[in-house]
Structure 1
Amino acid sequence: MTDGARLRWVALGDTARRPAVVLLHGGPGLPDYLGEVAHMIADLAPVYRYDQRGTGRSPWRGAHSLARHVGDLTELLNAWDVPEAVLIGHSYGTDLASRFCLRHSGRVAAMLLMCGPFVGDWHTGYRAERDLRMSAAQRARLRALKEMPRRTEEQEVELLTLAWFTDHSDPERGRQRAAWSARRRRPVNWSMNSDLGAEGRADPLDAHLAELRALLPARTGLLGGADDPRPMSALDALAARLGVPLTRIEGAGHEPWLEQPDAVRTRLRRFVRDAVGA
């Protein structure tokens, strides 16, 4: 990158084809985890994904900002010789995709936002639903782990497992998936999470929705898991404000491709085919 940072990226499919798909993972502060999603569509278009700076195999130390991460995506598109991209973001990646579109709408051929962005007062409903899915002992343990000034490796895994298992529709399988992810989506860059979270609260995407609606590409959609503890009503309201369709995946939570892979694959492939003219 122009500031000396080195970002790890991966491409699947025929990279000579255009437009290309770029997957933007969530967090913020997690390494890329969208490999399964990439394989669902790599025969239709080239698919790029990357570890955002400071995560995974993109080591970096310093303050994080939304502008810096938008700039990183711009530099990567230039490096890949991709003038226009189909952006598919998940969770925080939907916020990054939206803010990129606000700055560089001419480089966005199409955009699919999965499980986000959540705007308005969605935290209240999310916390209430998450607490319903946890026992009193689990809630107390999660609070205690968060308050620790330092955590061992096992304590960090326990914290992430407790924080993530409620994201899934099936609680038993959710616990297994969360424990698996807690050991592999590591390490979490908590300072990045804090920096970008604070900036997002200071300059919420809510304030830019009218501008975003005017800049969205013709092919834009939302997709969410019906059993995500984050309220589906927030995505319904966002779809109405942006004037875009929302696809609900029944029997799935915040990572719907894990619980309903066939349904997600069908919808992803339909969206990408329309976007690239395949």
Structure 2
Amino acid sequence: MHNDSDDMKISVLSSGSGGNCTYIETNQHHILLDAGLSGVRIERLMTSINRSMKDVDMLLVSHEHTDHSKGVGVLARRYPKINVYANQKTWDAMHETIGEVPLAQKNIFPANMTMSFGDIDIESFAVSHDAAQAQFYNFHHNGKSFVVVTDTGYLSDHILGIIRNANAYVLECNHDVEMLRSGEYPWPLKQRILSDEGHLSNEEGANSLIECIGNNTEKVFIGHRSHHNNVKELAHLTVASMLEEHDFAVGTDFDLLDTDVEKASKLFKL
């Protein structure tokens, strides 16, 4: 018999170039992945899904860019029971921007490693991004898995293998290539975004999903959308139509969902 209380519960609190934060809960842990907004905004987003920052005991950081790390120091200082995890290079790189994190709360989570925390196993994998050493995570609980991967210029076959057939994904569809090329960003920034150390476009995100989605997949969130070089409807349409061209039954076999910087996704269970 399935025990409802042993589900993994998840909400994408915020996702986009303006800030990123995801909430993952098991019986034993209340986890944030990234804290790329002010402490106050993260507290509000948590309240909006009927959860409290007071219960959070783990905060994982993917990389030092402020849209992922802005609130890390504030939350750590405000909530002493939070253990903060990042790889050494990320700690070194964000040291100046996040302020002091009490030593007792600082933990190293190396890239390409699985660490077990009671009822959840968390697998880190390095991605190709212009940060000190960006890494994302696959959360394993009770036979289910949840993958978050944004902020990467491409996904290697190795990573596609690690994340294949997860139960739910938050996957980057950062920009529409035409919007980016014709937009007002300076050329060096456009080059950075389009490079192998930049961000996945809508098409690249869709192609990655075509490689990853399996029979276990229930939910796919379109993540880390640029508010300058993308539009929610365009990203959704591009991904849905590319998946359908490859015979994926979007909306039947799995849900394709949008994310927002300002609004948390409804808490869902895996």
Q: Same fold (TM over 0.5)?
A: no
Query: Whose strand fraction is larger, Structure 1's or Structure 2's?
Result: 2
**Higher relative CO (CA 8 A, sep ≥ 6), structure 1 or 2?**
1
Q: Report the TM-score, using the length of structure 1 for normalisation.
A: 0.40
Query: Whose helix fraction is larger, Structure 1's or Structure 2's?
Result: 1
